[in-house]
Structure 1
Amino acid sequence: MIGWEDVYKVVVAMLPLYFALILGFGSVRWWHIFTHEQCDAINRFVCFFTLPLFTFEFTANVDPFKMNYLFIGADAISKFIIVVVLALWAKCSSKGSYCWSITSFSLSALTNSLVVGVPLLKAMYGPMAVDLVVQSSVVQAIIWLTILLFVLEFRRSGTGISSTATISDSSVKPGETGKDLEGNEVVTITRPSFWRLMRIVWLKLAMNPNSYACIVGLAWAFISNRCHFKMPTIMEGSILIMSRAGTGTAMFSMGLFMALQEKFIACGTSLTLFGMVLRFIAGPAAMAIGAIAVGLHGDILRVCIIQAALPQSITSFIYAKEYGLHANVLSTAVIFGMMVSLPVLVAYYAILEFLN
């Protein structure tokens, strides 16, 4: 049973994140230390250095031979449900869009498992829950964040190339050159073939350390657990010195982003409520369906549902900022999600225990 002491431990784990966020916010809004261009540079530093090493560090320490594959299957089914619903919404609804489907997937499927999930679920269900939360984080880093990165890069590459335009010379009369064109000039938009676009995307992903940090980490986990040896101290120290700054610098970058916005709630009230519904209702509902479908029950089923209701992934905001896609929505989701997550998760715990 969770008590006030356990709640205090969660609060203690969360408050340092807000300290980093306030420092980032104040450095721009109050103290005017950084310019807009410098804020972008800091975000790129987080995206290309601290987050990849943070991802590698915790992925390399997991034991892949002791993972709960039914739990991973339930997670995959829940993500598949979300993807199908969003794809149908984008295709069939007049209000649906490809870009909002990407953001909605981040809001409903990607969680901040390590910071809040580990201390809270350990208090609720013990070490078994901690193992599942770490496994969820590893799978999210290896599969879902990599897919998100691919989709964002695909969108940016496609948009960048499709804006190229050529003007046919067939309508140019002798003596006419350049805006002089009038009447029946032909303008065509050049779009790359699917395979050419895929080649561009894969080349860009190959230069992005986020796309393979988790894969290298998992490969190391397989080798080290099979052969029973540890990472050399000099290598481990080099990784830890940067990876330990991952979450803090991500929150600092979010504070910078907030300070550059005109309003504290950067995306408005309606989008904030929309994000909260996706985060705390749609995500857990999809996970409940996936867990029941693979036959999970008891405490494992409860852990599945509660971990799906954890606050928004900080990494999803970093990617949204880097790729220019609804970063204001993701930043608000992270901040408000962290604020309301504790009462929401305790409420989930109480309801699930009552239904037992």
Structure 2
Amino acid sequence: MIGWEDVYKVTVAMVPLYVALMLGYGSVRWWNIFTPDQCDAINRLVCYFTLPLFTFEFTAHIDPFKMNYLFIGADAMSKLIIVLVIAFWAKCSSKGSYCWSITSFSLCTLTNSLVVGVPLIRAMYGEKAVDLVVQSSVIQAIIWLTVLLFVLECRRANADSYLDSSIKNAQVLAVESAGKDVEANQLEIVESTGPSFWCLMKIVWLKLAMNPNSYGCVIGITWAFLANRFHFEMPSIIEGSILIMSKAGTGTAMFSMGLFMALQEKIIACGPSLTAFGMILRFIAGPAAMAIGAIAVGLHGDVLRVAIIQAALPQSITSFIFAKEYGLHAEVLSTAVIFGLIASLPVLIVYYAILGFLN
């Protein structure tokens, strides 16, 4: 049973996040230290340096030979359920769209497992349960954040290609209207329907190849396999070089979110209706899908409880950083992170009490 001491431990883990957030907010709104362009530069620092190293650091220290594959299977099944529901919604609803499908997937599935989940789950179910939360964080970094990067790059590449097409077509029209004896085969005319699938994939994979977030988790899990298979440790000079930046990952991410908040007219940038929508997806839809997936693969006891609890953890900070970098509903993700951190403790305690009645 969670006592006041356990609540205090979780609070101790969460308060520093708000300190970093308020410093970022105040540096723009109250002290005028950073300009909007400088805020974008700080977000790119987080996206391309501190977060990849943070991901590598915790991924490299797991033991992949001791992972609970039923637990991982339940997580994968819950994500599949969410993808199918979102795809059905996007196809059948007038409000459905590709962009909102990406954001909805982030809100339903991507959690802040390490910062909030570890102390909370330790207080609820002990150290063995903490191992499960770390495993889910690793899988999230290796698979689901990479999938998120992929679809965001697809969206960006598609948008850029359409923009290039519009510019080139405008140039062609200007040439034709000017007269210019130019033969048709000398004019560069694009198809108005956008790039071909293989052209789009080439652009996306090249972008991913240049994105360090694509490498952090892959190199980390590769190191984890080799280190645990052959029983050797990372040289201290390399580990120190990684830690000096990775330790700043969560703090700088929250600082960047504070900068983003300060640049908005309102703290709740997305409005009350979208805030409620985000909270429903985060604390109800995500855990419900996980419960279905966990029961389907045969999880029971504390493992089942941990699976549902970790699916109800607050929103991943990384999802906001990516949303800001790629210009997709960053205001919704920032609100989900902030309100998720505020609401998570009472919500998760309620979940813990309800799940305590399950055999």
User: TM-score if structure 1 supplies the norm length?
Assistant: 0.95
| Distance (Å, rounded) in 1 between the aligned partners of 2:33 and 2:190 | 47
CA distance 1:331–1:56, change in 2 (3 Å): same
2:74 corresponds to 1:74? yes
1:117 CA displacement: 0.5
2:212 pairs, out of 204, 209, 212, with 209
| Distance (Å, rounded) in 2 between the aligned partners of 1:187 and 1:12 | 57
Identity within the alignment, %:
78
The residue aligned with 2:241 is 238
The residue aligned with 1:144 is 144
SS in 2 for 1:189: coil
2:306 corresponds to 1:303? yes
**In the alignment, residue 4 of structure 1 is paired with which amino acid?**
W
SS in 1 for 2:356: helix
| Distance (Å, rounded) in 2 between the aligned partners of 1:83 and 1:120 | 28
2:221 corresponds to 1:218? yes
**In the alignment, residue 112 of structure 2 is paired with which amino acid?**
N
**In the alignment, residue 51 of structure 1 is paired with which amino acid?**
L
1:172 CA displacement: 5.0
The residue aligned with 1:183 is none
| Distance (Å, rounded) in 1 between the aligned partners of 2:256 and 2:316 | 14
2:356 corresponds to 1:342? no
The residue aligned with 1:9 is 9
| Distance (Å, rounded) in 2 between the aligned partners of 1:25 and 1:206 | 33
CA distance 1:157–1:351, change in 2 (3 Å): same
1:189 pairs, out of 188, 192, 209, with 192
Correspondence 1:41-52 to 2 at 5 A: 41-52=41-52
* Unpaired runs of at least 5, structure 1: 178-185
The residue aligned with 1:281 is 284
1:355 CA displacement: 3.6
| Distance (Å, rounded) in 2 between the aligned partners of 1:274 and 1:23 | 28
The CA RMSD measured in Å over matched residues stands at 1.6
The residue aligned with 2:62 is 62
| Distance (Å, rounded) in 1 between the aligned partners of 2:191 and 2:224 | 51
1:354 CA displacement: 2.5
**In the alignment, residue 231 of structure 2 is paired with which amino acid?**
H
1:189 CA displacement: 1.9
1:190 CA displacement: 5.6
SS in 1 for 2:159: helix
**In the alignment, residue 264 of structure 1 is paired with which amino acid?**
I
2:91 corresponds to 1:91? yes
| Distance (Å, rounded) in 2 between the aligned partners of 1:70 and 1:236 | 31
| Distance (Å, rounded) in 1 between the aligned partners of 2:246 and 2:56 | 8
| Distance (Å, rounded) in 2 between the aligned partners of 1:80 and 1:190 | 30
SS in 2 for 1:115: helix
| Distance (Å, rounded) in 2 between the aligned partners of 1:114 and 1:302 | 17
SS in 2 for 1:354: coil
**In the alignment, residue 155 of structure 1 is paired with which amino acid?**
R
* Unpaired runs of at least 5, structure 2: 181-188
| Distance (Å, rounded) in 1 between the aligned partners of 2:116 and 2:36 | 31
2:258 pairs, out of 255, 259, 268, with 255
2:312 corresponds to 1:316? no
| Distance (Å, rounded) in 1 between the aligned partners of 2:193 and 2:121 | 52
